[in-house]
Chains A and B, each alone.
Chain A
Amino acid sequence: MPDTPSDLVQGTLDMLILKTLALEPMHGYGISVRIEQMSKGVFRLNAGSLFLAIQRLERDGLIDGEWKPTENNRRARYYTLTAKGRKRLDGETREWGRQVAAIGRILEAS
């Protein structure tokens, strides 16, 4: 495992955010921390691309945002997965699994 954070495979950030939110509703920082933790520091998100993705997902109706107070008494937007988002996540997870398996087979074949 490399020491430096690596770039995300194109298009996977959306899937990771959806997965994170599938566990519980969360604000932007929470998402970024969770992804960092779960990937054991492999993926470090930059705020720009995180919120860009959040904005896109919200506009596509895959997640819903809601203003709520945080633990330290500020306001933050908490995002929940919508039904449509859950469906998309299931689909993408399946597809991802298929692709990873296929790529793995190719790489092992040598």
Chain B
Amino acid sequence: MSLFRNLATGLRSLFRKNQADRELDEELGAYLEMEAAEKVRQGVSRKDALREVRLERGSLEVTKEIVRSGGWEFFVETCWQDLHFGLRMLRKNPGFAAIAVLTLALGIGANTAIFSVVDSVLLRPASYAKPSELVDINEVGPETAAGAINEVSPGDFIEWQKQAQAFQGIAAYQRWEFHALTGTGEPDEVWAVPVTTNLFSVLGVNAIRGRTFAENETQAVVLSYQYWESHFSSDPNIIGKALALDGKSYTVLGVAPADFEFPRANTQIWVPLTFSAAERADHAHRTLSVIARLKSGVTLRQAQAVMDIVSRRLAAQFPKTNAGWSAPVRLFKGPVAEDVLRTAIFALLGAVTFVLLIVGANVASMLLARGTTRQGEMAIRAALGAGRLRLIRQLVVESVLLAGAGGVGGLMLARWGLRMIVSLVPKYNLVETESVHHISMNLTAFAFTAALSLLTGAAVGLLPALRVSSLNPSESFKGHGRTSAAGAGGSRLQRVLVVSEVALALVLLVGAGLMIESFEHLETAPTGFNPDHLLTVRVPLMSYKYSRPQSADFYREVLDRIQAIPGVKSVGMANNLPFMGFHLSLDFPAPPNSPGGSGPVMVAGRSVSPGYFRAMQIPLISGRDFTEAENQKDAPCVRIVNRAMARLYWPGEDPVGKQLPGGACPNAAPATVVGVVADSKQDSVDSEPHPELYEPYAQHPFASFLVTLVIRTASNPTGAAAAVRDAVRQVDSDQPVIQMRTMQDVVSESIWRQHVSASMLGLFAAIALVLSAVGIYGVLSYSVSRRRHEIGIRSALGATRRDILRMVAGEGLLLTLMGVGVGVAVALGLTRLLTGLLYGVRPRDPLTFVALALLLIIVALLAVYVPARRATSVDPMVALRYE
């Protein structure tokens, strides 16, 4: 009741302020009037009576203020006033407001964007229920290398499920596999992961549409949210529809949640993993990954003890396959982003932290300058009766306004930045484990950064307020806020801030410079083939449809048809292309006198068509290309090697006509080298070429799902895309024709991590450069305006314009040089961390250091010049009268 009454009265005085005010006036007026009347009655003259009353009771206005301050609405109202006043102050100083808001927006935006990347890629909060209960179980045998683990045999998995009592459930999954998807529009290739039907329940994940697998279900699939979105255009009626994987019919059961990435990002479809009777008894072939959920209350150690018992039992039961094998239980961690990306992200995280520090220093320094010039204003307000808290609140409200506007700007910048990052990530990435495509804005990061900037702003805004409010108003008036202690302390702090800004900016510049240089080296580094005018397209083999001889015929026909397309100069195929993220490794016996010891040598293997080298423009050094006659299943076994392999096995000799070591051919037939080609890089631009062995694709069973055609064209390669697609579809209309792109794109996409980090670091460094220039400019302008008086005296005493220019510019230059010195020292220590990302440039490259330090000094000089010029134009007479 009284709460309601309080609220109602408060609202009334808020919204019908005039009336409430009039009533208070009248009531207080009546009060004073009655008191005066009483005094008149006692014989005092009316005029004296009024004066006495006012002296005794205090001024009417102050009394009114006291009474008003009792209600809650007073707080609201004064906050509103502060807000208004703050807005007015900022409007009066649009330059200051704009720069402060923009600075804050840059800092908040950059940090929100990168924190979002960190959160989506590195932290990736698990989408599973109670992730701490999830464990991996692997197998380790007597011959497993130290620290390594083996996968699990289906027989062991089945026994674990039966015997291990420590778990709520044990599920298994296999490595990804590719399938041809037909029966739903455009034929496609999908990345499928076979999982036991209990996997979803072990993980505690439900479908967002439809359901997940029931026990013993076989011909059914669960779609990933992303694939449902991209291939099925988020079809709401997808559940129950049929599709064909490798020609076999499946029903769509459900769609997984958007953040469900198991076992890695980019899994498009889950299929049931079931075991035949033979597989259930198979303890020898270890092909499964196993994940389990601990019973609640069971510790990792207890689970391990249970698994040890089970392993010993199995070893006794199946000594041939299980003797000496154990099953380590470890907490499930999920996929971990690979090193290059981690380093890149940490570099960016470091960079945005620096940007935030620079932003903080800049805003702090601006507020400090303003706070000092506003000491007079504060003193007046304090003298007029504003309480200390009121003054402080006013300044905090102003900082909040700035940070609020900066936050809005930052949110927009972060969105834009994230879009830019995602657009730099290649679309076709077969084996990426990172969920870079699903980066989304991290609101926690945004709130954190905004709060941080706000706190910085408020804290620094508070300094002058605290100082002023504790000063005796009359002292402040005397000093005009110009020569007081607060001013001197403030400007010392400002100098420290500027030096740190310059130092941070230099570190960022050097980091970015190194990354950009390294990226340029990468872009222009020779690959060993010619990526110009080269179209690539994946035509994955439908192995369920074609036997090996049939598939050779299929590809032969496809290649012939493409060769006939006008504008196609040459065409070739390979079971996979360089830079696609895979290469086939073959173990070869070590050559005699090998420097690497007697262990097997890893050789990259590639199955190619005759004409592949011509299309790729990989030069033939000796011998010849494969012939069509050799590209037959039963043709004599022939091979082509690259130069690195030739050098490894036949140093100083021409290997043409020699026989390969080891039984490289079916039936252990000897393989004859018919040609040597130049080295080309297999994995990435920044890797060195490995020894490589080429074989005619029809002679050797190859990893065929990655079969890619390379088409050299006379003009723009993408112009031939439609004709190429048609040519393939004429041979088989179910054939997926996917990921059509130029070889240039393949190459540049293979270095997207370096591209993203170089671009973003460059952007952040540019921001840092500009901000530190603004910082220097701000400090010097402020110092010049503070020293007008002094400058006036100096020029009155005969200092020339040059003297004054030198004095002011010298101050700026000194600050810059100090910053550069500190920055160089810090950068020398930090760039080492970039080593993993750099290619063709050393982390302490002296040229980069010198060039960027010079750039920073030049920009700083520009920032110094303006206020220095302003100082020389000070008219001594005006300046002396000014105070």
Q: Chain A interface (Cβ within 8 Å of chain B)?
A: 27-29, 32-33, 46-49, 51-52, 55-56, 58-61, 70, 72, 74-77, 84
Contact = CB atoms under 8 A, between A and B. Distances in A.
A7 B389 CA distance: 25
Contacts of A60: 2, 5-6
A24 B66 CA distance: 27
28 contacts: A27-B30, A28-B27, A28-B30, A29-B30, A29-B34, A46-B57, A47-B32, A47-B63, A48-B62, A48-B63, A49-B66, A51-B31, A51-B67, A52-B66, A52-B67, A55-B70, A56-B70, A58-B9, A59-B71, A61-B1, A61-B5, A70-B34, A72-B34, A75-B26, A75-B30, A76-B27, A76-B30, A77-B27
B715 to A, nearest CB: 85
Interface in B32-77: 32-35, 37-38, 57-58, 62-63, 66-67, 69-71
B28 interface: yes
A29 B31 contact: yes
A33 B70 CA distance: 23
Candidate in B6, B62, B67 with the most chain A CB atoms within 10 angstroms: B67
A58 B26 CA distance: 17
Given A28-B27, A59-B5, A61-B1, A46 B71 contact: no
Interface string B3-36: 0011001100000000000011011111111110
Contacts of B32: 47
A51 B68 CA distance: 9
A55 B6 CA distance: 10
A28 B66 contact: no
Contacts of B35: 29
Contacts of A59: 2, 5-6, 9-10, 71
A47 B58 contact: yes
Given A29-B31, A29-B35, A59-B9, A52 B70 contact: yes
Contacts of B6: 59-60
Interface of B: prevailing SS: helix
Interface of B: 1-2, 5-6, 9-10, 23-24, 26-35, 37-38, 57-58, 62-63, 66-67, 69-71
A95 to B, nearest CB: 20
B63 to A, nearest CB: 4
Contacts of A33: 38
B435 to A, nearest CB: 57
Contacts of A75: 26, 30
A58 B28 CA distance: 16
Contacts of A52: 66-67, 69-70
B162 to A, nearest CB: 73
A48 B69 CA distance: 10
Contact of A48 (B29, B67, B71): B67
Given A46-B57, A59-B5, A51 B30 contact: no
Contacts of B69: 52
Taking each of A48, A55, A75, A84, which has the highest tally of chain B beta carbons within 10 Å of its own beta carbon?
A: A48
- Which of A28, A47, A56 has the largest number of chain B CB atoms within 10 A? A47
Given A52-B66, A74-B30, 10 more contacts: A29-B30, A47-B28, A47-B32, A47-B57, A47-B58, A51-B63, A58-B9, A60-B5, A70-B34, A77-B23
A71 to B, nearest CB: 9
B30 A47 contact: no
Nearest to A28: B31
Contacts of A84: 2
A17 to B, nearest CB: 14
Nearest to B70: A52
Given A46-B58, A58-B9, A51 B2 contact: no
B66 A48 contact: yes
Contacts of A29: 30-31, 34-35
Contacts of A51: 24, 27-28, 31, 63, 66-67
Nearest to B8: A59
Nearest to B34: A29
A32 B57 CA distance: 12
Nearest to A48: B66
A72 B36 CA distance: 12
B37 A72 contact: yes
Contacts of A46: 57-58, 63
Nearest to B65: A48
> What 9 pairs between A and B have smallest CB-CB spacing?
A48-B66, A61-B2, A29-B34, A76-B30, A59-B6, A51-B67, A52-B70, A48-B63, A60-B2
Contacts of B66: 48-49, 51-52
Contacts of A70: 30, 34
A47 B5 CA distance: 23
Nearest to B37: A72
A76 B26 CA distance: 7
Nearest to A62: B2
A61 B29 CA distance: 24
Contacts of B1: 61
Nearest to B4: A61
Nearest to B38: A33
Nearest to A33: B38
A28 B5 CA distance: 21
B27 to A, nearest CB: 5
Nearest to B33: A74
Contacts of A56: 70
Contacts of A76: 27, 30-31, 34
